């Protein structure tokens, strides 16, 4: 980004189309819009084709709505995560076609179409039923980013046969997102069974010595299986973002 901008700008300075003062000033007017409480980035979706994402936690509904208003002037495919139903009520007033995914706690406005090749998909796997909300955040995020998703839920290692019955769907995925709380052992077992990148999401599901997800996090970081990398506790969005970057690279690889 810097590189290209600089070259353009320098050419304009050289050919007189741009004064030095203007050039310096423009170098400061970088591509975001300042709302005071937030600096909204207009170029991100141009840069990587992914939607602009609003993280709602800790923001007021008014702030969230303000950011939506700015983005909707120039962007499609806007995603808000960790959105409460109250946040959604506020957003719907200015974006009537906004959709709210309740389990995932996501708002989506003007989504893009999915990529065409359903053979390239992300598998989202959970150990238990209670891990589903985090998994849905991952699945909705990945879908909003244009990906195909296969959901494989409640296949924790205590009943290994449930997991083994899904081996085909797991192994054909380009990337696997494993969402697990309690002891988080599912990531290791999946990591040992597939030969694709595994993104592990510890959840805060559990009690006592699960320490709000720390136990699952440590399990995943210490996995004896290779090919596993880890995101923050309950961070379904983060795993989906990384998975989407991988899929994008694979798709790009095909086209080169």
Please, which residue, 10 or 96, has the CB nearer to a second copy? 10
Nearest approach in angstroms of CB 213 to a second copy is 6
**Element housing 81 (H / E):** strand 78-81
Please, which residue, 143 or 234, has the CB nearer to a second copy? 234
Please, which residue, 48 or 74, has the CB nearer to a second copy? 48
Nearest approach in angstroms of CB 144 to a second copy is 13
Q: Cβ atoms within 10 A of the Cβ of 89, count?
A: 11
Nearest approach in angstroms of CB 8 to a second copy is 10
Would you state the structure tokens that stand for residue 197, as one six-digit string? 């990148």
Show Cβ contacts of residue 149 under 8 Å, excluding neighbours closer than 6 positions: 121, 122, 123, 124, 139, 142, 143
Instruction: Find out whether 193 and 171 touch, Cβ atoms under 8 Å.
Output: yes
What is the three-class DSSP state of 116? Answer: coil
Nearest approach in angstroms of CB 76 to a second copy is 18
Nearest approach in angstroms of CB 124 to a second copy is 13
Please, which residue, 127 or 140, has the CB nearer to a second copy? 127
Bridge partners for 40 per DSSP: 33
Give the CA distances from residue 179 to residues 3, 10, 43, 54, 213, in Å, rounded to whole numbers and listed in that order: 38, 48, 31, 22, 11
Please, which residue, 100 or 241, has the CB nearer to a second copy? 241
Please, which residue, 140 or 231, has the CB nearer to a second copy? 231
Nearest approach in angstroms of CB 6 to a second copy is 6
**Cα 66-68-74 angle, rounded to 5 deg:** 120
Nearest approach in angstroms of CB 17 to a second copy is 11
CA pair distance 55, 75, nearest whole angstrom: 17
Give the CA distances from residue 82 to residues 86, 94, 130, 199, 250, in Å, rounded to whole numbers and listed in that order: 11, 19, 17, 20, 29
The crossing angle, in degrees rounded to 10, of helices 186-193 and 214-221 is 30
Please, which residue, 96 or 183, has the CB nearer to a second copy? 183
């Amino acid at each position: 980004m810097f590189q290209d901008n600089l070259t353009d700008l320098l050419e304009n300075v050289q050919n007189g189309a741009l004064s030095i003062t203007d050039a310096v000033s423009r170098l400061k007017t970088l591509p975001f819009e300042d709302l005071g409480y937030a600096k909204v980035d207009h170029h991100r979706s141009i840069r990587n084709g992914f939607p602009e994402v609003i993280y709602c936690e800790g923001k007021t509904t008014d702030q969230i709505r303000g950011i939506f208003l700015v983005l909707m002037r120039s962007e499609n495919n806007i995603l808000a995560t960790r959105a409460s139903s109250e946040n959604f009520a506020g957003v719907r007033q200015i974006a009537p076609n906004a959709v709210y995914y309740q389990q995932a706690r996501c708002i989506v406005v003007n989504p893009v179409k999915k990529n065409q090749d359903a053979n390239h998909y992300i598998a989202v796997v959970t150990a238990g039923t209670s891990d589903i909300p985090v998994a849905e955040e991952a699945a909705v995020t990945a879908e909003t980013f244009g990906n195909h998703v296969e959901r494989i839920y409640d296949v924790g290692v205590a009943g290994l046969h449930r997991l083994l019955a899904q081996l085909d769907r797991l192994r054909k995925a380009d990337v696997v997102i494993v969402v697990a709380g309690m002891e988080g052992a599912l990531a290791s077992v999946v990591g040992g069974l597939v030969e694709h990148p595994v993104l592990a999401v510890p959840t805060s599901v559990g009690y006592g010595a699960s320490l709000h997800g720390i136990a699952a996090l440590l399990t995943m970081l210490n996995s004896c299986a290779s090919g596993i990398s880890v995101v923050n506790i309950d961070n379904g969005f983060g795993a989906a973002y990384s998975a989407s970057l991988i899929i994008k690279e694979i798709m790009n690889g095909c086209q080169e």
